[in-house]
């Protein structure tokens, strides 16, 4: 009986920690879909799934000095095959024809990806020094609203696209960081 109560307690705490972040799998899918569409329109074939793979990170942020009001972040990076150096075999996931490498912190959002398989060949994961990949970062408050988007020069356009697709944007979008 004690073991059952302990298991129930652990499950409830795990669910509470997931729900406290208030970002749903559906919202992550919408953010990914819209980021992919935006990047393809903005950067052309260099971010096409035939030329690039995705690296996704997802992390809790506990730094209230530099990231005031931000609780967690989602990073989506398009990395071109031509500019990466084969390093080691990884478990690859697949999303919209893209191969996806998940950072360890992003393992908690794996249910939205199809597990591809572990490929016997080496996958490119280290970048050459001269390459700057296309990176999009989304920062969320504890309610799951987006507070900040990087790249900053494109954040207003991305914000508009996400708002039109019913992604929650904070009323204090980016202002919260200037306080």
Report pLDDT digits (tens) over 75-93.
888 888 777 665 555 567 7
Question: Could you give the CA distance from residue 81 to residue 51 in angstroms, rounded to a whole number?
Answer: 6
Question: Could you give the CA distance from residue 56 to residue 78 in angstroms, rounded to a whole number?
Answer: 9
Between the alpha carbon of residue 151 and those of residues 10, 31, 66, 120, the distances in Å are: 38, 15, 17, 35
Q: Within the chain, which residues score under 50 in pLDDT?
A: 2-3, 5-7, 9-21, 119-122, 127, 129, 175-179
Convert the pLDDT of each residue in 12-43 to its tens digit: 444 444 444 456 677 888 888 999 999 999 88
Q: Which residue, 29, 59, 52, 32, is CA-closest to 125?
A: 52
Residue 57: beta bridge partners?
75
């Amino acid at each position: 009986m004690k073991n059952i109560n302990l298991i129930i307690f652990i499950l409830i705490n795990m669910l509470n920690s997931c729900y406290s972040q208030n970002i749903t799998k559906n919202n992550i899918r919408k953010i990914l879909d819209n980021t992919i569409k935006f990047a393809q329109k903005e950067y052309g074939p260099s971010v096409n799934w035939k030329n690039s793979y995705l690296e996704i990170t997802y992390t809790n942020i506990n730094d209230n000095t530099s990231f005031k009001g931000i609780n967690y972040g989602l990073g989506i990076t398009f990395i071109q095959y031509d500019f990466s150096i084969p390093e080691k075999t990884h478990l690859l996931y697949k999303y919209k024809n893209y191969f996806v490498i998940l950072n360890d912190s992003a393992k908690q959002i794996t249910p939205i990806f199809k597990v591809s398989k572990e490929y016997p060949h080496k996958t490119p994961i280290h970048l050459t020094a001269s390459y700057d990949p296309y990176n999009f970062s989304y920062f969320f408050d504890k309610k799951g609203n987006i507070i900040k988007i990087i790249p900053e020069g494109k954040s207003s356009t991305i914000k508009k696209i996400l708002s039109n697709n019913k992604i929650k944007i904070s009323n204090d979008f980016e202002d919260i960081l200037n306080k």
